[in-house]
A and B are shown apart, each in its own frame.
Chain A
Amino acid sequence: MEATAALPAWRVNLATIGALMSRAKNELLRVPGAAIPGVLAPTIFFLGLNGVFGALTQLQGFETGAYESFIVPVSMLQGAGFTGAAAGVNMARDIEQGWLDRLLVSPAPRWVLLAGTVLAASARALIPATFVFAIALPLGAGWPGVDGLLVTFFMVAAMAAVAACWGSMLALRFKSQSAAPLMQAGMMALILTTTAYAPLALLQGWLEKVARVNPVTQVVEAARQGFVGGVSWADTWPGLLALAGLLLVLGALALREMRRTGA
């Protein structure tokens, strides 16, 4: 009477992750206008920052004369942060509505459940990133080259995964959508306390000190390469290391929270 367990564990896990990602896309496809906030926020910031602070490039120390080129990777990363945090909000909603119980009662391992949310966020983040990039090009941002573009989009996807781990951790800890501002603000602070607005040499006071130690600075620099110059491994690996570190730490924390939901 028991179903014969025919599939090896790795195949079951992969299928589960795929099914959870597939469910996540309903949010975009079946709710009219759901994609808009995620796209709107980074776009407004891009256009706004560009219009307001564009003159900064006149200062010595900027590698580029076009502020658009300088901040477009920041806006793309912001979109990733927003999307990942939104995934956390969705998880909080799932918890409030009891949906997560269905997943927790199944034999699926906890890391598989988390991976579904995180990978879905990574994929979704490509949407606002593409939108912002498409707007930035005609407005004067330099073409980053295919290699630059690939690096940037990879950083975006990975940053979204980091944000999703952060958001999931908070969702599982507080079990409520009211933690949403913390999810969003946390990511915003992380991404903007870097060389987002200006190169390190031009940052003032406390921000210069924070940007020095903030791992996301490396991510911003790596994502920015193609837009302000050429792509090199030397400029890329620190960003990869930073992302790996963040994913490890926040992923572990999120997983811990998921394992502790019944405590």
Chain B
Amino acid sequence: MEGHSLPRSEAVGRAKGSANRVRTNARVVTALGARSIRQTFRRPQLMAPIVVFPTILLAIQTGGAGGAVELPGFPPVQSFLQFMLAGAMMQSLMLAGNSGGIALAVDIEMGFTDRLFAAPISRYAIVLGRLAGTAALGLFASLWFFAIGLVFGAEIAGGVPGALLAIALVTVTAAAVGGVGAAIALRTGSASVVQGLFPLVLVVLFLSSAFFPVELMIEPAKTIAEYNPFSFIVEGVREPIVSGVDATDTAEAVLAIAGIVVIGLGLSARALRHRLRAG
């Protein structure tokens, strides 16, 4: 395209080129993101389990294990519900990540992604677009559980800033988990495999501080939960609700999320390379 151009205009041309690419990719991410968000909210029967199932579990566990607040060593909370909100949000975002992975796997099975890969757009833009839907679902879940909490009398100790922080953390984590789900989808190309990982979601949650204070858990779950990155994220979401915004907890949560993002990106990159090579 640049035939015999002078060095300076060539440099300008290159800069223009990469600026164009960024714009194009941004457009792609927006378009695919809008599509994935539309897909998610257009089919409520698929969305419902992601929010309804954790809500039912929240209700049952609050009613069933609520007496735990009396246990010596239980952190000071206004109510067990207040304690559990973060765990319920965690559950929702994990399910959202799993379902985002399933959606991508379905796209792959249907050949939609092949069309995208054949286009001159960044591979990562494609995955990022998908994750936008997952993040939106995470956002929705956090708002939902805040609403439930408020309706049933739970106080948000950190006030509005605390709530916003929690919502932000949940949304970003949903995308991060979605990235891992996407990586699995890219690697296996099979929706039923990704779906089969749903029990794993439960396992990871049970082995974290999502449902109970780590100090009071039973070994060996206790030790695993102490080192589980998801525990840090849960605490980062829980603190603003239960006591107030804490810099350390927030930082630990952000680090944990970053770790998951890195893992998700790494796995996605490998899976993409493998998929594009294998065809």
A and B touch in the complex (CB under 8 A): yes
Given the complex of chains A and B, what is the CA–CA distance between A90 and B248 in angstroms?
Answer: 51
Main secondary structure, interface of B, reads helix
Q: Which 3 residue pairs of A and B lie closest in terms of their CB atoms, listed nearest first?
A: A207-B63, A51-B221, A197-B64
Contact B59 A207 (CB under 8 A): yes
Given contacts A59-B71, A185-B56, A192-B60, is CB(A53)–CB(B66) below 8 Å?
no
Contact B64 A198 (CB under 8 A): yes
- Let me know if A109 is at the binding interface, CB within 8 A: no
- Let me know if A181 is at the binding interface, CB within 8 A: yes
Minimal Cβ-Cβ distance residue in A for B61 = A197
Contact A40 B199 (CB under 8 A): yes
**A-B interface contact total, Cβ < 8 Å:** 102
Given the complex of chains A and B, what is the CA–CA distance between A81 and B26 in angstroms?
Answer: 48
Contact A55 B68 (CB under 8 A): yes
Given contacts A44-B199, A51-B206, A181-B49, is CB(A59)–CB(B217) below 8 Å?
no
The interface residues of chain B lying within 8 Å CB-to-CB of A207 are: 59-60, 62-64, 66
Shortest beta-carbon distance, B178 to chain A, in Å? 21
- Let me know if B67 is at the binding interface, CB within 8 A: yes
Contact B59 A204 (CB under 8 A): no
Contact A58 B60 (CB under 8 A): no
Given contacts A41-B199, A48-B202, A51-B218, is CB(A206)–CB(B59) below 8 Å?
yes
Contact A53 B212 (CB under 8 A): yes
Contact B53 A59 (CB under 8 A): no
Minimal Cβ-Cβ distance residue in B for A204 = B66
Shortest beta-carbon distance, A60 to chain B, in Å? 9
Shortest beta-carbon distance, B241 to chain A, in Å? 19
Contact B53 A185 (CB under 8 A): yes
Contact B217 A54 (CB under 8 A): yes
Contact A47 B216 (CB under 8 A): no
Picked from A47, A188, A205, the residue with its CB within 8 Å of the CB of B206 is A47
Contact B63 A208 (CB under 8 A): yes
- Let me know if A9 is at the binding interface, CB within 8 A: no
What bracket does the count of chain B residues touching chain A fall in? 20 to 34
Shortest beta-carbon distance, B193 to chain A, in Å? 12
Contact B211 A52 (CB under 8 A): yes
The interface residues of chain B lying within 8 Å CB-to-CB of A206 are: 59, 63
Given contacts A51-B206, A185-B56, is CB(A56)–CB(B65) below 8 Å?
yes
Picked from A37, A52, A178, A204, the residue with its CB within 8 Å of the CB of B63 is A204
The interface residues of chain B lying within 8 Å CB-to-CB of A40 are: 199
Given the complex of chains A and B, what is the CA–CA distance between A58 and B65 in angstroms?
Answer: 12
Contact A204 B62 (CB under 8 A): yes
- Let me know if A117 is at the binding interface, CB within 8 A: no
Contact with A along B52-86 (1 / 0, CB 8 A): 11001001111111111011100000001000000
Shortest beta-carbon distance, A141 to chain B, in Å? 13
Minimal Cβ-Cβ distance residue in A for B45 = A178
Given the complex of chains A and B, what is the CA–CA distance between A54 and B212 in angstroms?
Answer: 10
Given the complex of chains A and B, what is the CA–CA distance between A41 and B198 in angstroms?
Answer: 10
- Let me know if B123 is at the binding interface, CB within 8 A: no
Given contacts A51-B218, A178-B45, is CB(A59)–CB(B70) below 8 Å?
yes
Minimal Cβ-Cβ distance residue in A for B152 = A205
Contact A53 B68 (CB under 8 A): yes
Given the complex of chains A and B, what is the CA–CA distance between A59 and B113 in angstroms?
Answer: 54
Contact B65 A197 (CB under 8 A): yes
Minimal Cβ-Cβ distance residue in B for A181 = B49
Interface centre among B52, B202, B205, B220 (most CB of A within 10 A): B202
Given the complex of chains A and B, what is the CA–CA distance between A232 and B199 in angstroms?
Answer: 37
Given contacts A44-B202, A197-B65, A198-B67, is CB(A55)–CB(B217) below 8 Å?
yes
**28 A-B residue contacts at CB 8 Å?**
A44-B199, A44-B203, A47-B206, A48-B203, A48-B221, A50-B218, A51-B207, A51-B217, A51-B220, A51-B222, A52-B211, A54-B218, A56-B67, A59-B71, A185-B49, A188-B56, A189-B60, A192-B60, A196-B60, A197-B60, A198-B67, A202-B67, A203-B63, A203-B64, A207-B60, A207-B64, A208-B63, A210-B63
